[in-house]
Structure 1
Amino acid sequence: MDRSRGRLADPALIIVGGAMTVFAAVAIVWWLSDTPLGVDSAVYRAGGFAVVHGESLYSPLLALPGWAPELPFTYPPFAALLFTSLTALPSQLSWGLLTLAAAPSLYCAVRPFADRAHLPLLLIGAFALQPVWQTIGLGQVNLVLMAAVVADIFLLRGSRWSGITIGIVAAVKLIPLIFIVHLLVVRRTADAARALTAFLCASAFAAAVLPSDSVRYWTSAIFNDHFAEMKGWVGNQSWQGFVARTVPEGHPATVVIVVFAVVCSVVAIWLVHRLHRAGDDRAALLVTAGCSLLISPISWTHHWVWVVPALALLAARGHRGVVVAVAVLFTGWTVAVVPGGGGAERDWNLAEAIIGNAYLTVAFVGGLVCLSRSRCITTYTAEGKVKTYIS
């Protein structure tokens, strides 16, 4: 009885339940008042409608509500098949359905990285971070996908199902394919094979159901013109976004992008291998996630939800000052205070460039810290003891 009461009174679960209640109430009130809510969830829903009604998925979406901007559907066809479930609901309730999953996903993604004592405060603080509140406001799936990857890496490790979730997530949004490479680097070869098989099967299923859309996606829509036009916007905190803001278009920019992608990938693989050998699989996963954000052509600010488990791990290891500093940077003010849009980013002065690329700077500093400590890695055992691995 006492144990049951203890679990029911878990502050972290109370926070999750409270957040879900608030989001459900907002969705209902906004629906009853016919107030616009959830731009990206409206795009998901419109993509589902395109599938249901046999419309072209990668042409202008006819089912977008009148208040939503004319955004394209940019996900693989398999994602559109999943989003058909949203067509049974009004736009605001579709947002509510996705957002109800946000708080539990946040809990699942953070728990393996956090001390139990820190978890409630981390969950509350996470809602003040731009990647989280923006994901929720837009009706995005970032938190759900992150939780799925974390669950596959840690909760399903050693089971015959491990890897499958990552493969399905990658079929929804291609960037998680990098976690298949992560599985190979940490010598989970069977899991990587299952992940790749799941990705190929999901994509093949979508191709069978939506043959013309699949051909169009894999041959042209994957190189989205909408993204190309917005690559230099301050909201894109990837390396390609930085290059688009600072380097003239053309061959030099392409060389800078390719060289960085290769160097970043090689360094990340090396660090993941080292951290895995030292038994620090949590830090290893964060290195892979950071690499994905840097080398992706587009890493919108709401894609940076991986900062939450990173802060949790830093807090668990006693770096509270760093946690506070990084959290402040990720509240969203750095993007808001600099000129943005219409190519204004190319005219930034030095101070604006430093502030406007703050997310990238944090990732670079984190990578440099990992490199500087690569010859002396602290290993965290299951018993909480600490030992040192010397190369």
Structure 2
Amino acid sequence: MGILRKTVIISAFFISTVILLRTFFLGTYPDFTVYFAGSEAFLQGKNPYNTSPGAFANYVYPPFVLLIFLPFIFVPVPFAAQVFLSISIMSLPFGIYFCLKALGKLSVYSYAFTLLLSALAFPTKFTLGMGQVNLVIFFLISVVFYLLHKNKRYTVGFFLGLAYAIKLFPIALLYYFLLQKKWITVILSIGVFIIFYVVSVLFSGVDIQKTYFENVLPGISTSYQKDYYNQALSGFFARLPIEKTTGMFLKNITSILFIVLSLILLFWSRKKKNLENISFSFIITLSLIVNPFSWQHHFVWLILPFIVTFYKFVPTSLSLRGPLTTKVRGTRQSHINNYILLSSSYLLVAINFPNPQSLPVLFQSHVLFGTILLWFLQAKLLLGNK
């Protein structure tokens, strides 16, 4: 390994470490206080969905999450937040490790490069600064992705079921397992989810569950937030200068079109073994586009799709040397175009504007546009076009 290569790798690790560790000095982690207050209210015999005193926002997470954060309430909030932050930070490098390992692309250089780009991206900084659980979900999905390649059906089912219990988002991945006819994984993941749900019922009681499913969940599923940080289709249409009913109608129609087209592509390519990784990550990308809301910190889940798409575009047999025939020139240009588009997608997702109101309305949805661009590149791959 040359001196220049070593310098680049060391610099990448150093910058990544500094970016991640500086979050320990932020002092406040608003969303963590919501988790904390919810579990504290639950321990006091209150309904956390009705009472979140002193919290940043109302508690809207699945009941099982109350049990996960219960151990944290026995120590002061600042210390509890630092412990949870440590878990979140470690979830990132370990998640990246499993992604690269699954693809057979793990090396010091690829790892350092991926970690640096992930740490630099605003969604990563945002999820850590807010004290969110998204990097833990990323880690669980990365483990699932890795175990899939090892054909560990039972273990995949367990980790997938655990992810369901913490966040509803991974449930979309069920479609992938159904298409691939991985029945054991489907049944086991649902079974594990049910077990975790039953445990939460036994500890929290029926009233809390009733409040969540009758009041909280319907409110989430029909959310129409126009905040800049909502980068789903719902946020894009909510920010447009049109009537709310018109915007919701357009959002629903556009979401249906994305979903139907995506399901057709996934079904059409289901038997192509070389596209299984793209299919898996394609569902993650689609979910962030059509979810009722996707805050910018949710987009850390795109780390896996970006990794998969990047390495799918890497030319395996095309030499960069030799005679430039028309075919070779065209193939090289295609790779260059793909990397330009993928880089543009990353930049649109990774950047953040501290004063978004100063931007034109369309520019305020840059993360959504970057995600749609990634969706387009993955759709090309599913169609067999590089």
Task: Give the alignment's TM-score, normalised by structure 2.
Answer: 0.78
Letter in structure 2 aligned against 1:313: V
Distance between the aligned counterparts of 2:303 and 2:221, measured in 1? 29
Distance 1:224 1:192 in 2: 28
1:244-283 equivalence runs, <5 A = 244-246=238-240, 247-250=242-245, 252-273=246-267, 274=269, 277-283=272-278
Aligned to 1:51: 42
Corresponding residue for 1:243?
237
CA contact (8 A) 1:238 1:297 kept: yes
Is 1:87 the counterpart of 2:78 in the alignment? Answer: no
Match of 1:104 in 2: 90
Unaligned runs of 5+ in 1: 1-10, 341-347, 379-391
1:45 positional shift: 1.1
Instruction: Check the 8 A contact 1:39/1:138 in 2, yes or no.
Output: yes
Please state how far the C-alpha of 1:287 moved relative to its aligned partner. 0.7
Q: 1:270 to 1:186 in 2, by over 3 A?
A: farther
Partner of residue 357, structure 2: 339
The structure with the greater share of residues assigned to helix is 2
- Structure 1 residues 19 and 92, CA, compared in 2 at 3 Å: closer, same or farther? farther
Q: 1:371 to 1:323 in 2, by over 3 A?
A: closer
- Is contact 1:131-1:304 (8 Å) kept? yes
Match of 1:343 in 2: none
Q: Give the conservation status (yes or no) of the 8 Å contact 2:19–2:119.
A: no
2:5 counterpart residue number: none
Matches within 5 A, 1:129-208: 129-155=121-147, 157-208=151-202
- Cα distance in 2, alignment partners of residues 155 and 361 from structure 1: 31
The separation in 2 between residues aligned to 1:21 and 1:311, in whole angstroms, is: 20
Match of 1:42 among 28, 33, 44: 33
Q: Which of 72, 75, 86 is 2:58 aligned to?
A: 72
- Give CA-to-partner distance per residue, 1:292-331, whole Å, 9 cap, x none: 1112111000000123233333443345544543333233
1:74-121 deviation digits (Å, cap 9, x = unpaired): 101111111102112222222222221233322233232473232112
Checking the alignment, whether the CA contact within 8 Å between 1:241 and 1:298 is kept in structure 2 is: yes
**Superposed displacement of residue 167, structure 1:** 1.7
Contact 2:177 2:186 in 1 (8 A): yes
Aligned-partner SS, 2:230: coil
Counterpart secondary structure, 1:336: coil
Distance in 1 separating the partners of 2:341 and 2:44 = 51
Is the alpha carbon distance of 1:194 and 1:149 closer, same or farther for their aligned partners in structure 2, counting shifts above 3 Å? same
Paired residue for 1:329?
A: 348
Q: Which residue in 1 is equivalent to 2:323?
A: none
Distance 1:326 1:257, change over 3 A: closer
| Partner in structure 1 of residue 327 of structure 2 | none
Q: CA, structure 1 residues 267+144, in 2 after alignment: closer, same or farther (shift >3 Å)?
A: same
What is the rounded CA distance, in whole Å, between the counterparts of 2:192 and 2:271 in structure 1?
25
Q: What TM-score does the superposition give when structure 1 sets the normalisation length?
A: 0.78
Root-mean-square deviation (CA, aligned residues, Å) is 3.0
Judged with a 3 Å threshold, the aligned counterparts in structure 2 of structure 1 residues 290 and 202 are, in CA distance, closer, same or farther, namely same
| Cα separation, 1, equivalents of 2:129 and 2:222 | 20
Change (3 A) 1:118 1:322: farther
CA 1:57–1:175: 2 relative to 1, 3 Å: same
What is the deviation of 1:190? 1.4
Stretches of 4+ moved more than 6 A in 1? none
CA 1:193–1:141: 2 relative to 1, 3 Å? same
Secondary structure at 1:161's aligned position in 2?
A: helix
What is the identity, as a one-letter code, of the residue corresponding to 2:88?
Answer: A
Deviation at 1:194, TM superposition (A): 1.1
Return the alpha-carbon distance in structure 1 between the equivalents of residues 161 and 221 of structure 2.
26
* Partner secondary structure for residue 43 of structure 1: helix
- Read off the aligned partner of 2:145 and give its amino acid letter: I
Structure 2: state its 5+ residue gaps: 1-8, 315-337
> In structure 2, how many angstroms separate the alpha carbons of the residues matched to 1:182 and 1:358?
28
CA shift, 1:61, in A, is: 1.2
Tell me by how many angstroms 1:275 deviates: 6.0
What's the CA shift for 1:369?
3.1
* AA matched with 1:58: Y
The within-5 A match list for 1:276-315 is 277-315=272-310
Look up the equivalent residue of 2:89 and give its one-letter code: A
Aligned residues: 342
| Kept in 2: contact 1:275–1:283 (CA 8 A) | no
Distance in 1 of aligned mates of 2:296 and 2:308 = 21
Question: Which amino acid is 1:59 matched to?
Answer: N
Per the TM alignment, residue 271 of structure 1 is displaced from its structure 2 partner at its CA by 3.0
Query: Cα gap change, 1:213/1:270 in structure 2, threshold over 3 Å: closer, same or farther?
Result: same
Question: 1-side partners of 2:144 and 2:162: how far apart?
Answer: 11
CA contact (8 A) 1:41 1:94 kept: no
2:373 is the counterpart of 1:355: no
Partner of 1:215: 210
